[in-house]
Structure formats: C-alpha cells, structure tokens
Amino acid sequence: MTESRWGRLGAVSGILFAVLFTAGVMLPDHPNGEDATQAAVTAFYADSDNRITVIVAMYVLMLAGIAFLGFIASLYRGLREAEGASGSLAIVALAAGVVFVVMLNATGVAWATVAAGIEFGGNSLADIENPIWFGSLGDISLMIHGMFAAIVVIVATSALALRTAALPRWLAWTGFACAFLLIFSFVFMPMIALPVWAVATSVAMLKHPAAQSQRAAQPASVAA
C-alpha cells in the first residue's frame, strides 16, 4: 500500500471513529450522576429494549476503537517521519492512543455487563448486588482515564504540528483548544471536542497529503 493510500485510509478511519464514538456514547441513555438512584437503575435494566441498546453500544464503541487504531497508526507514521531521529512525541501520541482505545473498550464492557448478564447469562437484577457500580465504572473509564489519554494524543500531535509543520498550524491551535475542553469532560458535553478534533485532523490529512509528505521528508529545513 502506498503512503498516500495509507494516509487516506487513516483519514477515513478518523472520520469513521468520530461517527461511531458519538453514536456509541449517545446510545445508552442509562441513568448517571444524581439520576443514578437504585430505583432508576433497576427500572432502566428491567426494560429489554434498554438492555439491547446498551449491548449494541458496547459493540459500537469496540468498532470505534478499531477505527481509532487505524487513524492513530496513520497519524503516527507521518508524525514520526516529521519528528526525525528521536520520535519521542510521536511515540507518546501513539502510546496514549492505545491507552485511549483500552479505556474505550473498558467503558463498553462496564456499561454492558449488567445488560449482557441478564440477556445472555440468565441472571436477574436480584442476582446483581450493585448494578449502579458498573455504569459508574464505565463513566469513569471514559470521562476521566479515556479523555486524559485523548488529551495526551491531541497535545503531542499539536505540538509536533507547530514544530515540524507536518500538519497545518490551524489544526495545531484547534487541537490545543479541544484538549483544554476535554479537561472538563467529566460533565460529559465537552467530550464532543474529541470527535471534532478527529474529523478536523482527518480532513487535513485528506486535503494536504502531498504537503505533509514533503514536510515530513524535510524536517530539518522546516526547523531551521
């Protein structure tokens, strides 16, 4: 596969991730925060449609994680070539991306554990000691651990975009703004900054593949 085709595949994967991530997060309208009382959680999982929706969301988040791996792998190739000898920031971005995918899958599993136990394991809500705990674990995995890993990905990518011009400067500043918003992802809505950044980065990869290739091949002259 040529470099340009690999870059296009990564960009498409980034857009696909944004769509799947948004859908996977929005699908399970399970009680959380102050609404996650024992009665509300019991009523939620008593509904078969809710249980199926949560299980579907788990698979959607899993697919989103696979798409993100394709996206971050393609992004890493360009950043690594642009950074040159050490490749330290590019490696940090890649490693943080892998951590984010792990947290994304952990979120899906935690959210779906109660529903899957009832649908496929023959369990009842009476068999599950504390169903609220699983939803809270999923929320923490995504909103805290997952989003902070995403912040590292975005900041490392944005810093390299400014240092090497491997990506447009407007994308670097957009990335810093998105990373700042993600600090407040514990209130849920700022998480939209992540798919926005992924789409913006993917568009930049699609629109300027030749320029990226040229800049990545000449990091020393850019730095000078």
Helix H, strand E, coil C: the string for 119-156 is HCCCCCHHHCCCHHHHHHHHHHHHHHHHHHHHHHHHHH
Summarize the confidence of residues 51-80 as an average pLDDT: 93
Q: pTM of the entire structure?
A: 0.84
The number of angstroms, rounded, from the C-alpha of 136 to the middle of its chain's C-alpha atoms is 19
Task: Answer whether residue 223 shows pLDDT above 60.
Answer: no
Say how many domains are in the chain: 1
Torsion of CA 65, 162, 197, 213, to 10 degrees: -60
Task: Say how far apart CA 19 and CA 198 lie, in whole Å.
Answer: 10
How far is Cα 8 from Cα 2, in angstroms, rounded to an integer? 10
Asked if residue 10 lies in contact with residue 93, where contact means CB atoms within 8 angstroms, the answer is: no
For residue 58, is pLDDT > 80? Answer: yes
22 near 16, Cβ under 8 Å? no
Chain segment 113-145, per-residue pLDDT in tens: 888 888 887 777 766 677 777 878 888 999 999
Query: Which range marks the domain in which residue 138 is found?
Result: 3-223
Query: What's the rounded mean pLDDT across residues 95-100?
Result: 97
Flag whether pLDDT at 40 surpasses 50: yes
Whether 102 and 64 have beta carbons less than 8 Å apart is answered as no
